[in-house]
Amino acid sequence: MNVSFLFPGQGSQSPGMLGRLSDHASLSLVLKEAGEVLDLDATKLDSENSLRSQVNVQLSLLIAGVASARALMANDVIPMAVAGLSVGAFAAAVACETLRFSDALLVVRKRAELMASAFPSGYGMSAVVGLTEKRLSEIVARIHQSEHPVFLSNVNAPSQLVVSGCLESLAKVESVASSSGARKVERLPVNVPSHCPLFNEVAGDLLVCLSQLGAMNPKVPYIGNVRARPLRNAALVCDDLARNIASGVRWHDSVSVLVELGTAIFIEMNPGNVLSRVSSEFFPQQRFIASEDTSLAYIRNLALECAD
């Protein structure tokens, strides 16, 4: 089946996101397991108030991604490969069976707690649309200072980029990018500077944690965030999961690799459709479908037709 699963990261969340999942039996099972592992009511993680917490956001995204993938796989939609953006990579690792869901829940909670405690305020991320990676890198290099750091963090598409750092430097990058021809500059709803060297220490802590879990080799290729290569070894997947928080994410390259592997249909797991919108413009021969906007039956029929 020439289908790949995509799992979104932070910024895709919205209140009530878990309630908008399919009513497939997998949802109740995933929520039940999450509640037991975390010792909380998982159905309340996605309220507007709860999503002010870094921890609840990341846990909700993991739960939504795993529930969506399990509902599809229970309906005979089996991916040939998986890829997740940022924290979405943990849901991808569960879908390809490198991590157990219970282990992923605990690691993601630890990841979010470490991120929030490392930078409780004064930092964030901004999206810049319409400049090349080279041009934005030049702007960032001019503004970056050790006491006021800022970094190019995500290449989501050739001209859809993200920068991370302290708010003072982000504001300067936004101003210069706008005056340099950027079509859109937007501060993201993220209060930490993800995917940059500021999180090197957190990445090291996560790698130690992941190395103790008894991770398994993926059943289908997992496409890494850091180097955008197909990974088929548990240790390499765990290394990518740990290091993606401190390294730039080459998302466009990841999707390119999935196309090279033969993907005809990309299915984006809940919540939202950000990844589909970002990539569909640059890969017009492929189909991009957001599971939140599409019925299980339609996706199943389309996938089976593609397999014939």
Confidence of residue 294 (pLDDT cuts 50, 70, 90): confident
Residues 52 and 130 in one domain: no
Residues 119, 124: Cα–Cα separation, whole Å: 9
The domain tally of the chain equals 2
pTM of the full predicted structure? 0.94
What are 89-120's pLDDT values in tens digits?
Answer: 999 999 999 999 999 999 999 999 999 999 88
C-alpha to C-alpha distance for 238 and 208, rounded to whole angstroms = 10
Tell whether the model's pLDDT for residue 173 goes beyond 90: yes
pLDDT tens figures, 52-84: 999 999 999 999 999 999 999 999 999 999 999
Same domain as 114, residue 37 = yes
Are 125 and 163 a contacting pair, CB within 8 Å? yes
Give me the CATH number covering residue 259: 3.40.366.10
Same domain, 98 and 241: yes
- Distance between CA 169 and CA 71 in Å, rounded? 43
Same domain, 65 and 202: yes
Report the alpha-carbon distance of residue 67 to residue 72 in Å, rounded.
9
At residue 64, the pLDDT reads 95
Q: How far is CA 131 from CA 158, 177, 195, in A?
A: 8, 8, 19
Range of the domain at 166: 123-187
In this structure, is residue 223 part of a structural domain?
A: yes
Task: Assess whether pLDDT exceeds 90 at residue 308.
Answer: no
Distance CA 133, CA 126 (A): 14
- Cβ(284)–Cβ(22) below 8 Å: no
* Within a domain: 25: yes
26 and 153 part of one domain: no
Are the CB atoms for 176 and 143 separated by under 8 Å?
yes
- Where does a domain end: 187, 212, 238? 187
N-terminal to C-terminal alpha carbon distance within the chain: 9
Any domain includes 252: yes
Question: Are residues 95 and 205 both part of a single domain?
Answer: yes
C-alpha–C-alpha distance, residues 70 and 25, integer Å: 9
Q: Tell whether 160 and 296 lie within a shared domain.
A: no
Residue 101 shares a structural domain with residue 146: no
In this prediction, residue 191 carries a pLDDT of 86
pLDDT > 80? residue 24? no
Q: What are phi and psi of 6, to 5 degrees?
A: -115, 140
pLDDT band, very low/low/confident/very high, at 303 (cuts 50, 70, 90): confident
Of 168, 187, 206, at which residue does a domain stop?
Answer: 187
199 close to 104: Cβ distance less than 8 angstroms: no
Same domain, 281 and 174: no
**Domain identity same for 159 and 222:** no
Where is the domain boundary, 131, 159, 187?
Answer: 187
Q: Which residues contact 181 (CB under 8 A, 6 or more apart)?
A: 130, 131
Residue 192 falls inside a structural domain: no
Q: What's the alpha-carbon Rg for the chain, to the nearest Å? A: 18
Length of the chain: 308
Question: Rounded to an integer, what distance in angstroms lies between the CA atom of residue 163 and that of residue 198?
Answer: 13
In this predicted structure, the answer to whether residue 271 has a pLDDT above a threshold of 80 is yes
What's the whole-number average pLDDT of the chain? 94
Which of left, alpha, beta for 190 (phi over 0: left; psi -120 to 50: alpha)?
A: beta
Q: Does residue 181 sit in the same domain as residue 249?
A: no
Claim to verify: residue 70 and residue 207 sit in the same structural domain: yes
Helix H or strand E encompassing 6: strand 3-7
The CATH number of residue 132's host domain is: 3.30.70.250
